[in-house]
């Protein structure tokens, strides 16, 4: 017995989009990285829209990812801190799903509670204690339990349960065949914790390289979570469109406005699905004006 040296490296995590969607099952709990209209794995979300997947529990700091999945009837339950497109504060299809009674099963959370639940799952704990939620209807409707500190202070705290994910979907700038990611841009949100809270994490990237250490060794600080948390990788340039991917491209506010307007039209979603989402990403990219146009979208100013 004893340590056996690995003689051959065989781990290659490259998958096709279809293979990734094929690993997702009806009824799964799926976490989606990014934040509102920022760095969302939209190409992977579109692949779900085109699939027969259903009855999903979605966990997200939501934007159009949540709105589109609601519009397509994919969501059985939504766990969220907010759903917004920033400049368009109210996400039109999320709003429609909620106001029509199509999405009664929700767990509305404080933004910090959501990351706390992901952290509990990542650390394999049943819950993490917090003051957040006490005194609000987030606690009333969330049916959370409380715990009492066993120490002298005796403080009563809300027990935020672990948010265990069957899968997480994340979009970054670069990933290598082994799953080493690099997320550039000023903010990485809570993608790290989505990845660690999930049984399997699928990463789409603008660029897939064979070996990160050979291609981009100087950007290792952009490796926001380690490759042991990555199951599958796929190259999808412009894969975050219409959300922003700084410094590569900004969000597409013109697109968001047209998308939001479609929610007010009779049959608007079916039309958006057929004409914009289409059968594959090649169709999508052509429908939104092409790769060059997306690459030139200005970065948002706050």
Partner 1 sequence: MSVSDCSLAELLIVACSEAWRGNGEVVATGIGPVPRLGASLAKLTHTPQLMMTDGEAYLVEEPVPVGPRGYDDRKAAGYLPFSRFFDSAVWTGRRHAMVSPTQIDRFGQTNLSYLGGSYQQPKTQMLGARGFPGNSIYHINSMFVPFHSKRLFVEGEVDMVSSVGYNPARRIPGGNYSGVDLRVIVTNLCVMDFGGKDNAIRVISLHPGVTIEQVREATGFELQVDGDLPTTPLPTEEQLAIIAKLDPHNHRATVIKGNPPAIAKESVA
Q: ∠ CA 16-239-67 to the nearest 5 degrees?
A: 105
The CA-atom distances, in angstroms, between 125 and each of 116, 147, 194 are 11, 14, 15
The residue within the footprint of partner 1, chosen from 89, 125, 228, 295 (CB under 8 A), is 89
CB 231 within 8 A of CB 197: no
Residue closer to partner 1 by CB (options 39, 74) is: 39
The residue within the footprint of partner 1, chosen from 37, 81, 117, 179 (CB under 8 A), is 81
The residue within the footprint of partner 1, chosen from 19, 55, 90, 271 (CB under 8 A), is 90
Kindly state whether residue 110 participates in binding partner 1, applying the rule CB under 8 A.
Answer: yes
Kindly state whether residue 25 participates in binding partner 1, applying the rule CB under 8 A.
Answer: no
Rounded to an integer, what distance in angstroms lies between the CA atom of residue 22 and that of residue 17? Answer: 8
What is the pairing mode between strands 106-108 and 127-130? unpaired
Kindly state whether residue 140 participates in binding partner 1, applying the rule CB under 8 A.
Answer: yes
Kindly state whether residue 302 participates in binding partner 1, applying the rule CB under 8 A.
Answer: yes
Kindly state whether residue 59 participates in binding partner 1, applying the rule CB under 8 A.
Answer: no
Kindly state whether residue 113 participates in binding partner 1, applying the rule CB under 8 A.
Answer: yes
Residue closer to partner 1 by CB (options 132, 234) is: 132
Q: What φ, ψ does residue 24 adopt, rounded to 5°?
A: -90, 145
38 DSSP β-pair partners: 35, 244
The residue within the footprint of partner 1, chosen from 106, 222, 263, 276 (CB under 8 A), is 106
- Binding window for partner 1 (CB under 8 A); candidates: 81-89, 233-241, 254-262, 275-283: 81-89
Residue closer to partner 1 by CB (options 155, 210) is: 155
Conformation bin of residue 240: beta by default, left when phi > 0, alpha when psi is -120 to 50: alpha
The token pair at 169 is 């979907």
The token pair at 260 is 């939001």
The helix-helix angle for 92-99 and 253-262 (nearest 10°) equals 20
- Binding window for partner 1 (CB under 8 A); candidates: 1-9, 11-19, 104-112, 209-217: 104-112
Binding site for partner 1 (CB under 8 A): 35, 80-84, 89-90, 94-95, 98-101, 104-106, 108-113, 115, 131-138, 140-141, 146, 148, 154-157, 186-190, 192, 298-299, 301-302
């Amino acid at each position: 017995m004893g340590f056996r040296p690995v003689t051959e490296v065989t781990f290659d995590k490259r998958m096709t989009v279809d293979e990734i969607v094929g690993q997702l099952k009806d009824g799964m709990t799926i976490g989606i990285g990014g934040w509102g209209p920022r760095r969302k794995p939209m190409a992977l979300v579109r692949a779900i829209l085109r699939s027969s997947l259903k009855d999903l529990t979605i966990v997200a700091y939501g934007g159009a990812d949540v709105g589109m999945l609601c519009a397509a009837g994919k969501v059985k339950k939504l766990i969220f801190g907010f759903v917004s497109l920033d400049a368009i504060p109210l996400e039109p299809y999320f709003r429609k799903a909620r106001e029509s009674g199509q999405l009664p099963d929700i767990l509305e959370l404080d933004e910090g509670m959501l990351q706390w639940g992901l952290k509990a799952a990542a650390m394999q704990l049943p819950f993490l204690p917090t003051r957040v939620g006490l005194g609000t209807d987030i606690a009333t409707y969330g049916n959370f339990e409380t715990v009492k500190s066993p120490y002298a202070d005796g403080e009563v705290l809300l027990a935020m349960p672990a948010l265990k994910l069957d899968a997480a979907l994340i979009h970054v700038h670069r990933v290598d065949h082994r799953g080493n990611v690099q997320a550039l841009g000023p903010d990485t949100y809570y993608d790290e914790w989505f990845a660690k809270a999930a049984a399997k994490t699928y990463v789409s990237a603008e660029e897939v390289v064979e070996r990160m250490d050979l291609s981009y060794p100087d950007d290792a600080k952009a490796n926001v979570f380690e490759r042991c948390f990555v199951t599958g990788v796929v190259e999808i340039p412009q894969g975050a469109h219409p959300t922003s991917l700084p410094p590569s491209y900004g969000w597409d506010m013109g697109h968001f406005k047209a998308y939001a307007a479609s929610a007010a039209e009779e049959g608007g979603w079916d039309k958006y699905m057929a004409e914009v989402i289409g059968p594959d990403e090649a169709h999508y990219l052509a429908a939104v004006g092409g790769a060059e146009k997306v690459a030139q979208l200005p970065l948002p100013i706050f």
